[in-house]
Structure 1
């Protein structure tokens, strides 16, 4: 079924851009293949109200040189237009902003990268389809004017440039989807009316929320479409794992992988001949456990490659920092992604996959407990998922001095394990030694990514204070708590329990596994940096509303009972009434 083309009459909206030179028309499938793997320049041009408002520096040519050198082939350039556009008809976009977008597009393509430009947070800032006050007539007029002007501005760009009308459009009903389908037709009319090479340019169409289910259920391709087109959806599933919600720090079971495969196969099965772009995928890196994270990245990218999807990483997933000489926070994840995108098998660190587990282990880090309760240094056997590979070498770096470990002396192989011998580990760890990162190991295999494993001696972290009185005045701001991490300076999750043994927030988590019950959500309820753990205002307000004390349990890696710290939040209580003496 096809949506009817919407004929929009706008004064002087005629195809008036004429380009010099020629345009190498390409099928959408060729464009999509050229994007893979791709990177989103997020939190920059889409920031509100301007490019640097969310803390990133302006995009420069070296940004995209870094992207290209890292192995990416395409860029999705999210752009928010609302705050650079007049608030009434004729909805004029600021010329300086149009020129800035054009300049960034040229930076991208000059580095040999294909690019998709969109309207990003405008999906809620200007075109909120689900708003109770939505004015679809105004939306349609403004949407035409927006894309007519963008189409004019970029009309003569090469076939390396594609347009995506709207990021994650709001709504969840058939009515909302019908209006989105209408906006797609208006978008196509606008860019074609603008002229230039736009009639042959690739366009990228998605469903409500860029959700795969909505794409399958309600997207209708505009009737008589002449532009080559690809479909798109976003993938952040399972959300509790990718967002570090409710203590979900494990992933990789057969059921986990089957669910991911079913999600992708449903889209491919519904659109067997269409080019498909996963316009965003990724997860929170800072609080996640690397073994689980590496397995997720490998499987999502590998499954995308199998289904011929172009995979576009959202920038916060591996914390790209524009202009940084060392921009990738997790180089192993990046290496895994690049190999998986070409179908090359990666060896992976194994880790806990059982949702009924009460502690979490991982082969992505060599942990040893030191301090006053330190344990004797002993052999450590770490299992790996080999995927047909063999170990080539292990390099251990201490104080910037690398050395190759010796097989049968420093480590032995006993499939599927690598056992690090106490002979070697004793050069790094001491039973009662101080905490810290003692070495960085790089494991090289016959193919695929090299795995970088830190060797960390840990002890139970120490909070600067362990109780706090909540009042109506101090719940308005977050609570920073000084912490000495004593090992890995990273918080895994936070459990919040009232003194009556119920959970402070999300009581329903009682039905989850032991590692998730009563746990809070990263950024919504807690955060951390190199010296502090932050309890969010929302948690303080929940304690105040409960009129009782709560115990927060801060849990660190490795996730085990001995590596957690309790913290008490209580409410301000009135003084007891005066005592009366009997006469």
Structure 2
């Protein structure tokens, strides 16, 4: 999947036995439906025996995507990334990664007519990156990536031509890499999709390409005769109606060196912050639980190794734009995803679009160290969280005690710290069940002079995993001012945030109907319809949103902030001009 800047440990011979023990100890510690332990004996590979597909996929955990690089259009550097270096792969290995997925788009480096020759220089550049990663001891996955929508999607109307080009593409890739070690793996097609087809037709076309991919690679000989191959579901979607046909196809092929691949980006409203999906709530959690339960029951327990070739959030992180998400909600998402994948027996590959996303390819450090620590911790253990990572204190009010709900996730709460100083239970806080209450006296001390924003950071520490930060934050209700603008540049609304942060925007006409470019919900998409500009004290209504408004109609906006404060505003568009007034 494309992620542009506009959005967005190793295991020894007994690793499978260790995984089983981890599964048993983890059961029942999540707040959502637990995963059942695997049934039957666990296969253990004897020393010297060839690695099974399950062994290989397990040994690939954790995995990382070199996104927006060789899959960029038309060239490696087109989407803001540099050519990968040995230092990058060294750093990834040092971070604990055991495999990398190198998505490759071939379209602009291949003739569009027979014999569909791939440019030799392009093939050489792909091979160089593959070899750098392999030489670091990493497993490597290469694929056919954005070609899926550039020309493969035309299969319904150009069946024979698409099939011929697909086979020719894989014939050339297979020939180039036929003698490469078995740590190089192939993935047939990324997020396969087909224009103007029914679901059943799309599944059939996908099955035909999967079969062609396997046949071409196997017939190329060399190490390709037994190389592990990943076959995708239609769209790489982890739904039952798309996973069932792939499971049946994999079994019918009777090839022990095949595995399934799907992607997961979470519950859509939360993944992009739309339709009020601001929190990793029970609905989002259940969506995740259901997805991994399907991967486990339809693939893993049926003896089909499963590679989550991409995961993340569709809306970021993106250091070039204001975050769509409250930080604590993001941390909860990745904490639970790591646990869900481990208990399902699924290997995960983080989708990373570049230095503005997760792992900075210039500094070779995590762009957000806290998020990086949470993701890394999730590979091996659970972490405790809480209902929120912020305690908002209104400056206009007297400070009173505040309560958060702890989510230990199977760990044990150990206490609160401010830096190296441990807070005193009974004086600074109390715990009743999973209810953590910060006392008024402790909050008064922590708030200090009550300047707007974060006054103090304390940590809830647990018996395992990473600590949970709690930011004591002083605020007053944000203040918006009148503004004028146009539909081309957008409307910049002067805003005094006063320590608060924007969560979402609700937009309605006078009759209560939805106003904006997202018509199916009044809660518009963050960074698409609107965007806060904290450094310049403004909220911008973006052109896509303004152009969708009815001319002359007054629109009532409700800005929802993370403190719980709502601020009402009015907007009217007349031709190309827009006015905004305080309600």
TM bucket, shorter chain: 0.7 to 0.9
Q: Cα–Cα, structure 1 residues 428 and 135, in superposed 2: closer, same or farther, change >3 Å? A: same
Give a deviation string over 1:523-552, Cα, whole Å, max 9, x none. 432334543534232211111x45412233
SS of 1:263's partner is: helix
Which of residues 181, 184, 188 in structure 1 aligns to 2:207? 181
Q: Note the residue ranges of structure 2 that are not aligned, 5 or more in a row.
A: 1-47, 318-322, 578-583
SS of 2:217's partner is: helix
SS of 2:127's partner is: helix
The structure having more radius of gyration, on CA atoms, is 1
Shift of residue 483 of structure 1? 4.4
Shift of residue 159 of structure 1? 1.8
Normalization by structure 2: what TM-score?
Answer: 0.79
Q: Cα–Cα, structure 1 residues 388 and 304, in superposed 2: closer, same or farther, change >3 Å? A: closer
Q: Cα–Cα, structure 1 residues 140 and 549, in superposed 2: closer, same or farther, change >3 Å? A: same
SS of 1:492's partner is: strand
**For residues 174-253 of structure 1, what are the structure 2 equivalents within 5 Å?**
174-213=200-239, 214-219=241-246, 220-221=249-250, 226=255, 228-253=257-282
- Give the equivalent residue in structure 2 for 1:138: 161
Q: Cα–Cα, structure 1 residues 83 and 487, in superposed 2: closer, same or farther, change >3 Å? A: farther
Q: Cα–Cα, structure 1 residues 478 and 414, in superposed 2: closer, same or farther, change >3 Å? A: same
Which of residues 423, 430, 433 in structure 2 aligns to 1:415? 433
Give a deviation string over 1:392-442, Cα, whole Å, max 9, x none. 354425xxxx644344444343332333334433334257x4312223333
- Give the equivalent residue in structure 1 for 2:347: 310
Provide runs of 4+ in structure 1 moved above 6 Å.
none
Q: Distance in 1 between matches of 2:128 and 2:477?
A: 51
CA contact (8 A) 1:441 1:452 kept: yes
Q: Distance in 1 between matches of 2:126 and 2:193?
A: 24
- Give the equivalent residue in structure 1 for 2:75: 50
- Give the equivalent residue in structure 2 for 1:109: 134
Q: Distance in 1 between matches of 2:470 and 2:133?
A: 34
Which of residues 567, 570, 573 in structure 1 aligns to 2:573? 570
Give a deviation string over 1:480-508, Cα, whole Å, max 9, x none. 555443325x5321111123332204554
Which of residues 524, 530, 538 in structure 2 aligns to 1:526? 530
Shift of residue 178 of structure 1? 2.0
Shift of residue 125 of structure 1? 1.0
- Give the equivalent residue in structure 2 for 1:341: 379
Shift of residue 468 of structure 1? 3.3
Shift of residue 24 of structure 1? 9.3
Q: Decide which moves more: 199-208 or 97-106.
A: 97-106
Q: Cα–Cα, structure 1 residues 141 and 573, in superposed 2: closer, same or farther, change >3 Å? A: closer
- Within the alignment, does 1:553 sit opposite 2:561 as a pair? no
Shift of residue 233 of structure 1? 1.3
- Within the alignment, does 1:289 sit opposite 2:289 as a pair? no
CA contact (8 A) 2:266 2:284 kept: no
Q: Cα–Cα, structure 1 residues 329 and 198, in superposed 2: closer, same or farther, change >3 Å? A: same
Q: Cα–Cα, structure 1 residues 481 and 147, in superposed 2: closer, same or farther, change >3 Å? A: farther
Which of residues 368, 383, 395 in structure 1 aligns to 2:405? 383
Shift of residue 223 of structure 1? 6.0
Shift of residue 46 of structure 1? 1.6
- Give the equivalent residue in structure 2 for 1:301: 338
SS of 2:213's partner is: helix
Normalization by structure 1: what TM-score?
Answer: 0.79
- Within the alignment, does 1:438 sit opposite 2:470 as a pair? no
Q: Distance in 2 between matches of 1:324 and 1:566?
A: 42
CA contact (8 A) 1:245 1:521 kept: yes
Q: Distance in 1 between matches of 2:446 and 2:451?
A: 11
Shift of residue 177 of structure 1? 2.2
Q: Note the residue ranges of structure 1 that are not aligned, 5 or more in a row.
A: 1-22, 351-361, 510-517, 575-583
- Give the equivalent residue in structure 1 for 2:10: none
Q: Distance in 2 between matches of 1:480 and 1:203?
A: 51
Shift of residue 168 of structure 1? 0.6
- Give the equivalent residue in structure 2 for 1:79: 104
**For residues 444-523 of structure 1, what are the structure 2 equivalents within 5 Å?**
444-463=461-480, 465-468=481-484, 474-481=486-493, 483-487=495-499, 490-505=501-516, 506=518, 508-509=520-521, 518-523=522-527
Shift of residue 146 of structure 1? 1.3
CA contact (8 A) 1:215 1:233 kept: no
SS of 2:59's partner is: helix
Shift of residue 241 of structure 1? 1.3
SS of 1:162's partner is: strand
